[in-house]
A and B are shown apart, each in its own frame.
Chain A
Amino acid sequence: MTLKLGRHEFADDATLMMAIVNRTPDSFYDRGATWAEDKAFERVAHVVGQGAEMVDIGGIKAAPGAEIDAAEEKARVVDFVARVRESFPGLVISVDTWRASVGAAVCEAGADVLNDAWGGADPELADVAAAYDAAIVCTHTGGVAPRTRPYRIEYDDVVAAAIADTVAYAERAVAAGVSPASAIIDPAHDFGKNTFHSLELTRRLGEMVATGWPVLVSLSNKDFVGETLDLPVGERLTGTLAATAVCALAGARIYRVHEVVETRQVVDMVNTIAGRRLPARAIRGLQ
Chain B
Amino acid sequence: MSSIVRHVLAAESAQGRPERDGLSPRRVVLVPGVLALLPEYAGLSDPVAELRAACLAAVSWLTGPVEIVADEQGRRVAEHLLVSTGSTTEGAGSTAEGAGSTAEGAGAEGDASYLVVANGSACRGEKAPGHLDERSFAFDAEIDKALRTPDGAALAGVDEALGAELWAGNVAGLRRLGGLLAGAGVPVVDYADDPFGVQYWVMRWTCES
Interface residues of A (CB under 8 A from B): 277-283, 285-287
Q: Which of B21-29, B42-50, B103-111, B156-164 contacts A (4 or more CB under 8 A)?
A: B42-50
Least Cβ–Cβ distance between B119 and chain A, in angstroms:
9
The CB with the most chain B CB atoms within 10 A, among A277, A278, A283, A285, is that of A283
A287 contacts which chain B residues (CB < 8 A)? 34-36, 122, 129, 196-198
Contact at A281–B129, with CB atoms within 8 Å?
A: no
Contact at A278–B129, with CB atoms within 8 Å?
A: no
* Extra A-B contacts (13), CB below 8 Å, given A278-B43, A285-B129: A277-B44, A278-B42, A278-B44, A280-B43, A281-B44, A281-B46, A282-B47, A283-B48, A285-B35, A286-B41, A287-B122, A287-B196, A287-B198
How many chain B residues touch A (CB < 8 A): the figure is 16
Contact at A282–B122, with CB atoms within 8 Å?
A: no
Interface residues of B (CB under 8 A from A): 34-36, 41-48, 122, 129, 196-198
**Measured CA separation A200–B50 after assembly (Å):** 49
Least Cβ–Cβ distance between B121 and chain A, in angstroms:
12
B122 contacts which chain A residues (CB < 8 A)? 287
29 A-B residue pairs with Cβ-Cβ distance under 8 Å, sorted by A, are A277-B44, A279-B43, A279-B44, A280-B43, A280-B44, A280-B45, A281-B43, A281-B44, A281-B45, A281-B46, A281-B47, A282-B36, A282-B41, A282-B42, A282-B43, A282-B47, A283-B36, A283-B47, A283-B48, A285-B35, A285-B129, A286-B34, A286-B35, A286-B36, A287-B34, A287-B35, A287-B196, A287-B197, A287-B198
**Measured CA separation A286–B45 after assembly (Å):** 14
Least Cβ–Cβ distance between A198 and chain B, in angstroms:
33
B48 contacts which chain A residues (CB < 8 A)? 283
**Measured CA separation A278–B46 after assembly (Å):** 11
**Measured CA separation A278–B129 after assembly (Å):** 23
Least Cβ–Cβ distance between A275 and chain B, in angstroms:
12
A286 contacts which chain B residues (CB < 8 A)? 34-36, 41
Least Cβ–Cβ distance between B184 and chain A, in angstroms:
28
